[in-house]
Amino acid sequence: MVKSLSNNVLEKVDEIVRYIEESDNYKKYKEIESKMEKDSDIMNKINKIKSIQKEIVKLEVENKDISHLEKEIDDILSILNTYPIYQEYIYLQEDLNSTFQSIKTIIENYINDKLK
C-alpha cells in the first residue's frame, strides 16, 4: 500500500517536473545559464562572491566584523547587474522560484483541504 502510494506520488511529481522542464522560462533559464558558464568574467565574479560568502560564515561564527566583506559582495553584484545576461538570468531564476513556491502552496492547500 505505502509503496504503491509512494510510486503514485512520485509519478505525479515527475509530471510536475516535466511540466516545468518543458516551460519556456525554464528552457530560457538553462540556455542563459549555459552562456553565463562560458563567460569567464561573469563566472569569476560569481565565484568570488561564493568565496566571500564562505568567509562571512566563518567570521560570523567567530563574531567578527563582516561589513567589509558585505560591501565587497555589494560592489561585485553592482558590476554583475550591469550585464544584461546576468539580469535576465536573475529575473528568470526569481520567476522559476515563484513557480516552485506556487506549486508547493497549491499542494499544501490541497492536502490540508482534503484532510479537514
Which domains, ranges and CATH numbers included, belong to the chain?
A: 24-115 (1.20.1500.10)
pLDDT for the residue 70 = 97
pLDDT surpassing 90 at residue 19 = yes
pLDDT at 3 exceeding the cut of 90: no
* Backbone phi, psi, residue 25, to 5°: -65, -40
Q: What 8-state DSSP symbol labels residue 116?
A: -
- Residue in 70, 66, 48 with CA at minimum distance from that of residue 58: 66
Tell me what the pLDDT averaged over the chain comes to. 94
Phi, psi of 29 (to 5 degrees): -55, -50
Q: Is the pLDDT of residue 49 over 80?
A: yes
From residue 60, how far is each of 57, 69, 70, 74 by CA, in Å? Answer: 5, 11, 12, 18
Residue tagged 569569476 (cell numbers):
44
Q: How confident is the model at residue 68 (pLDDT cuts 50, 70, 90)?
A: very high
